[in-house]
Amino acid sequence: MSYIPAEAQQLPLYRTPELLASVDGLLAAESTRHGGVSPVPFASLNLGINTDDALANVDENRFRFFSAIGADGLGFASSYQVHGTAVLHATEAGRYDGYDALMTNQPGLLVGVTVADCVPILIYDNAQRAVAAVHAGWRGTVGRIVQTTLMNMQQQFGTRPADCLVYIGTCIDENTFEVGPDVAGQFDAALLHINPQTGRTCADLKRANAELCLAMGVPASQIEISPFSTVLHNQDYFSYRAEEGQTGRMLAVIGLKAA
């Protein structure tokens, strides 16, 4: 699939989840692939450090992204992700290792995850003013990382799922995430279907994570699911699968502005 330059598309560097857009003092954003300086195959707003793109490009792209969302002066906490279920309680900015979810109630600190097919999930606790960013690939999904994150927020901040707003972000869609028998066997049968064009089994990662949130007590009216697909809308988002591993990464971030 070919990449269409931002100048031709006139698309933004990021999108803000509608569910979170009107929350006072909250910053929440999911980047697109537009508006950066990286060359093909990372064109153009590659925000991933662990790629073969030049670090100077990623630094400039991150500067543009954080400036665009109004995060100048805010700290940022992220992690080298390992497709696990470990959750970090972040209290200061930094690059950590081994976590696939980060949570904080520290004003002035953003937490975020990088993705290029996996599901980014942003959580906001409206009562305790706490946030979390979750990276859920198929391993994290079957490992119920979003539930682990909500439980960690409950233990650390007193979070109740009923008070949470949850955004399940842009990822590979339910018709293109083809899986083999070993992976399919780890999903509930209701989350699987056969693609009639290929005859292959597909899994629905968005629905899987939404149902995990519902099971924890998050109301359906407080869950927003991205309508976009990294594969079907590859001109706007990076897809590791569609681009055969040679591509950039998006960022999904959330945090409270400093008082």
Question: Could you tell me how far CA 22 lies from the centroid of its own chain?
Answer: 19
How many other C-beta atoms are found inside a 10 Å radius of the C-beta of residue 22? 8
Q: What is the pLDDT of residue 10?
A: 54
Provide the token pair at 138: 């198929």
What domains are defined for the chain? Answer: 9-171+223-256 (3.60.140.10)
Answer whether 93's CB lies under 8 Å from 77's CB.
yes
Cα gap 117→173, rounded to integer Å: 9
- What tens-digit pLDDT sequence spans the chain (259 residues)? 333 444 434 579 999 999 999 999 999 999 999 999 999 999 999 999 999 999 999 999 999 999 999 999 999 999 999 999 999 999 999 999 999 999 999 999 999 999 999 999 999 999 999 999 999 999 999 999 999 999 999 999 999 999 999 999 999 999 999 999 999 999 999 999 999 889 999 999 999 999 999 999 999 999 999 999 999 999 999 999 999 999 999 999 999 998 7
Q: What is the pLDDT of residue 5?
A: 42
Please state whether 87 falls in left (phi above 0), alpha (psi between -120 and 50) or beta.
beta
Provide the token pair at 219: 């109301």
Residues in contact with 19: Cβ distance below 8 Å, sequence separation at least 6, in sequence order: 165, 166, 167, 222, 223, 224
In SS3 terms, the chain reads as CCCCCHHHHCCCCEECCHHHHCCCCEEEEEECCCCCCCCCCCCCCCCCCCCCCCHHHHHHHHHHHHHHCCCCCCEEEEEECCCCCCEEECCCCEEEECCCEEEECCCCEEEEEEECCCEEEEEEECCCCEEEEEEECHHHHHCCHHHHHHHHHHHHHCCCHHHEEEEECCECCCCCCECCHHHHCCCCHHHEEECCCCCCEEECHHHHHHHHHHHHCCCHHHEEECCCECCCCCCCCCCCCCCCCCCCCEEEEEEECCC
Q: What is the pLDDT of residue 11?
A: 72
